[in-house]
Amino acid sequence: MRSSWSKFVIREIEPDLLPEVYEIERDSFRYPYKNSFLDWLADRYCRTFLVARNEEKVLGYVVASVEGERGHLFSVAVRPGWRNRGVGSALIRELFRRLVSSGVHGIRLEVRKDNSEARSLY
């Protein structure tokens, strides 16, 4: 996948990439998910836990659950310094493609009212 700023690929999470996801989570949220919860999500929803990665590092991630015909977007975050470069949009597009192809007809998410960056992304 190509953005206007950098070349990166989107792929499913692998255990060796989780430490970089923890770092992005901590750098992105005032109340980050615990590492153990991210581990659980990666184990349970590996097909819908996606990372954007260039040759050097993980740039961002997105994770959603699938329960029947409903999806729940848990989190999307992009490494500071890589935001507003198309990484988050590409992750969400690929996630939605996967959700639709698996029969999902609705997606739920929560976002704080004061999180204008996330609201504009969604």
Domains of the chain, start order: 9-117 (3.40.630.30)
The whole-model pTM stands at 0.84
**Could you report the per-residue pLDDT of 49-86, keeping only the tens digit for each?**
999 999 999 999 999 988 888 888 899 999 999 998 99
DSSP characters for 54-94? -SSSEEEEEEEEEETTEEEEEEEEE-TTSTTSSHHHHHHHH
Query: Over pLDDT 90: what percentage of the chain?
Result: 64
Alpha carbons 46 and 29: distance in angstroms, whole number = 22
